Amino acid sequence: MQGKLLGAVSALILLSGAALAAPPDKPARPGLTSRFETLSAVKDSTAGVFGRLSAEIVRTTPGFVNAAAINDIYEVEAGKIALQRSRSPAVRAFARRMIDAHTESTARLRKTIRNYNINATVPDRVDARRRGMLDDLRGAKSQNFDHRYIAQQVAAHKEADILMRHYAKSGKIYGMRDFASATAKTVAAHLAMAQDLDPRTRSASGR
């Protein structure tokens, strides 16, 4: 059942991605702007659902390490894009904070792996899903960029929240459970910050 759900959501993301493949800042044909915005919102929403499902099915310590590290890499890269493209001082400040926090998170993850002699590999690049998300940020129109970035941040932090809380509760390695528990608190704070930056993400999330 989980496989079918993941497949269906993945297909939705791919379809919406194809519809949004217009170059950044290229004027849309008359009447299509609202359509692009609607498709963007659908894509952000389905990506968030897919991410939460993915986080919920992580069951092993190597799987947790992989998911946590990929999330960190995505956050750092997304933050760099935001620093280049955002016109909002508040969004840029948030992006800098995400770069610093997730760089530190990866360092703590690596230290935990060493200290507890965990047999797990830390990836050095994002997966296909996050690569698509980063491409969407690079391709977003200037006037839509901040909302797209923050919508992704809300979805990514909800996914990370599930991942961290789940491992903190049921993970097999004590030291990594401590890492997950501490990181979950930071993730919750970052989620609240992101939602405060764009009230539309707060109302959509039900907070």
pLDDT for 3 beyond 70 = no
What pLDDT band is residue 5 in, cutting at 50, 70 and 90? very low
Of 17-31, 85-99, 109-123, 184-198, minimum mean pLDDT range: 17-31
What does the pLDDT look like over 36-93, one tens digit per residue?
Answer: 455 555 556 555 555 555 555 577 999 999 999 999 999 999 999 999 999 999 999 9
Report the pLDDT averaged over residues 20-45.
48
What does the pLDDT look like over 146-177, one tens digit per residue?
Answer: 999 999 999 999 999 999 999 999 999 999 99
Report the pLDDT averaged over residues 10-26.
42
Secondary structure of residue 161 in the 3-state scheme = helix
Report the pLDDT averaged over residues 20-32.
43
Q: What is the reported pLDDT for 206?
A: 43
How far is the C-alpha of 141 from the C-alpha of 27, rounded, in Å?
A: 9
pTM for this model (two decimals) = 0.76
Q: What is the reported pLDDT for 198?
A: 84
170 contacts: CB under 8 Å, gap ≥ 6: none
2-13+31-205 belongs to CATH 1.20.1260.10: yes
pLDDT for 96 beyond 60 = yes
At 59, give phi and psi (nearest 5°).
Answer: -125, -20
Q: What is the reported pLDDT for 113?
A: 98
The token pair that represents 64 in the structure block: 């947790």
Q: What is the reported pLDDT for 39?
A: 56
Q: What is the reported pLDDT for 59?
A: 76
How far is the C-alpha of 56 from the C-alpha of 163, rounded, in Å?
A: 7
